[in-house]
Amino acid sequence: MAIREISIDELADKMAADHTLRLIDVREPDEYESGHVAGAELIALGTVADNIVALRGDGPVYVICKSGGRSMRACEFLDEQGVDAVNIAGGTMTWVMSGRDVVMGDQPS
């Protein structure tokens, strides 16, 4: 099965329409703390398997990283585990380049 993927523009639209959207950032803590999309929860790629229970639930999990590679790997793993995961193409780097704000620090918002 092919992994679904959306652009950062589509993510922004979905976030505006659905304030319960689950966005997971799979970068390392130092990357996350230096700037992440507001509302993104940090679950570093190396810990995704340890957090599989928390990632299960209603609706899709949107997964983001720096540029889309690590998030795609996370989505492939999640898909194998039966989790509906959607990759964010271009990642946080594209989000920043589009002029959108990021949150600094270790908290989602």
For residues 32 and 42, the answer to whether their CB atoms sit within 8 Å is: yes
Q: What is the CATH number of the domain that holds 37?
A: 3.40.250.10
How many separate domains does the chain show? Answer: 1
**pLDDT 10s digits, 54-65:** 999 888 999 999
- The sign of the CA dihedral 42, 21, 50, 71 is negative
pTM of the model: 0.96
**pLDDT 10s digits, 73-92:** 999 999 999 999 999 999 99
Q: Is residue 17 part of a domain?
A: yes
Q: Is residue 108 part of a domain?
A: no
Catalytic residue (choose from 40, 65, 72, 75): 65
Q: Is residue 106 part of a domain?
A: no
Structure tokens at 54: 């928390």
Q: Is residue 48 part of a domain?
A: yes
Q: Is residue 61 part of a domain?
A: yes
For 80, the domain range is: 4-97
Q: Is residue 28 part of a domain?
A: yes
**pLDDT surpassing 70 at residue 1:** no
Q: How far apart are CA 106 and CA 18, in angstroms?
A: 23
In whole angstroms, how far apart are CA 43 and each of 8, 13, 32, 78, 93? 19, 23, 10, 13, 18
Q: How far apart are CA 76 and CA 3, in angstroms?
A: 7
75 flagged as catalytic:
no
Neighbour-count burial for 55-90, b at 16+ CB within 10 Å, e otherwise: beeeebbbbbbbebebbbbbbebbeeeebbbbbbbb
Q: Is residue 109 part of a domain?
A: no
Q: Is residue 15 part of a domain?
A: yes
